[in-house]
Amino acid sequence: MADQTDKHPRNAPGSFYNDLSCIDCDLCREIAPRIFLRDDEGGKSYVGRQPETPEDLLQAREAMESCPTETIGCDG
- Written as tens digits, the pLDDT of the chain (76 aa) is 999 999 999 999 999 999 999 999 999 999 999 999 999 999 999 999 999 999 999 999 999 999 999 999 999 8
Q: How far apart are CA 52 and CA 44, in angstroms?
A: 23
Q: For the beta carbon of residue 40, count every other beta carbon within 10 angstroms.
A: 7
- For the chain, the structural domain boundaries read 8-70
Q: How far apart are CA 64 and CA 66, in angstroms?
A: 5
The answer to pTM > 0.85 is yes
75, 11 contact by CB (below 8 A): no
Could you tell me which CATH number the domain at 8-70 has?
3.30.70.20
